[in-house]
Amino acid sequence: MKRKLNIAAIALVILLGITPFLFAAGDYPTKPITLVNPMAPGGTLDVQARAFAAVAEKYLGQPVMVVNKPGATGMVGGTAVAQASPDGYTLLVGSVNITNAVEWEIANGRTPPFTRNDFAAIGSFTMSPTLLIVPADSPYKTLADFVSDAKTKPGQMAFCSGGLYGMSHLPIEIFSREAGLKFRHVPFTGGGPCLSAVVGKHVDFAAQYPPTTLPLVKGNKLRVLAVVGGKRLKSIPEIPTVKELGIDAEYYGWVGIMAPKNTPAPIVDKLREVTKKVVQDKTFIDMIEKPGDEVYFLGGEELAKWMDKESKIIAATEAELVKEAQKK
């Protein structure tokens, strides 16, 4: 009899533990949702996250508030969400920055505070390829010109980035390794200073993204040599990809939504459904594509597979960078 009572008590405890999540899943959402952007305000990630939040409110029936928690290349905000209650009310603006930061910790023999396995992928809403850019009056008119000259002066041509091992540094490292080239890296503390350095001809080139680059191209300050991706951009269809020259390099600044792992399946399903509706919404499409970017939707499972694929490429590249740094 006592054994039966103990079993019943255990069952009751388990039921009480999961009941709040069952009710939450059925009624979700019943209060505002916080969308944590792990990067600083004002950047492309922030602009796109706020566009998503504004349109998502229509489908969720609750306010969606974007809160910036920058620091350690996304680690601060990512950790906050990984440790949040898995109830669907604290979500992460995921991006390739998170992959970069996690793999960099691992490459240096450190244990990251979280990995992609600490999240449930909801879906992506953009996937921007990087653009290889030079000053508008650069002698390099085409990617072929650029590559041909770079091969004659290994380590002499300089590129800038918005920070070490970030999403404007790694594209060049991946590209250079595939092309058999060597460059000198000049890191800055943000994409804005790097763009200014290219415009001012303090460096030879850089890899940046459409929303920040294309206005300067239209203003005759920059020239785009190539897209570091698998297909041409609709906003600049005349610009070829590096793959068209036989260089098998791709790097995308994707942005999407992640939830803490163990978020109830009905809530995850609801968020995935809403994300798909947002990326099909004309208001959202206009917000993203008028500056020159493109909406790109990957469902939760597809995004998880994409992250697995990119993690392997980034991990291999960063491991090489660590070895090179140790030799110096």
DSSP assignments along 25-70, one per residue: HHH--SS-EEEEE-S-TTSHHHHHHHHHHHHHHHHHSS-EEEEE--
Tokens in use for 310? 């990119």
CATH-assigned architecture of domain 2-128+252-320 = 3-Layer(aba) Sandwich (3.40)
CATH 3.40.190.10 boundaries in the chain? 129-251
One digit per residue, pLDDT tens: the chain, 328 residues?
A: 545 455 544 544 444 555 554 545 679 999 999 999 998 887 788 989 999 999 999 999 999 999 999 888 889 999 999 999 999 999 999 999 889 999 999 999 999 999 999 999 999 999 999 999 999 999 999 999 999 999 999 999 999 998 888 889 999 999 999 999 999 999 987 888 999 999 999 999 999 999 889 999 999 999 999 999 989 999 999 999 999 999 999 999 999 999 999 999 999 999 999 999 999 999 999 999 998 899 999 999 999 999 999 999 999 999 999 998 888 7
Tokens in use for 314? 């980034």
pLDDT at 1: 52
CATH 3.40.190.150 boundaries in the chain? 2-128+252-320
| Residue 255 backbone dihedrals phi, psi, to 5 degrees | -135, 135
pTM of the complete model: 0.84
**Residue 222 bridge partners (DSSP):** 135
In whole angstroms, what is the distance from residue 123 CA to residue 250 CA? 20
Q: Which residue has the tokens 């140790």?
A: 326
pLDDT at 13: 45
Q: Are 96 and 230 contacting, i.e. CB atoms less than 8 angstroms apart?
A: no
pLDDT at 131: 96
Tokens in use for 44? 């492309």
DSSP assignments along 99-113, one per residue:
HHHHHHHHHTT---S
In whole angstroms, what is the distance from residue 163 CA to residue 186 CA? 9
pLDDT at 15: 47
**Pairing between strand 252-260 and 119-135?**
antiparallel
Of 274, 310, 281, nearest to 295 (Cα)?
A: 281
Domain boundaries 129-251, corresponding CATH code? 3.40.190.10
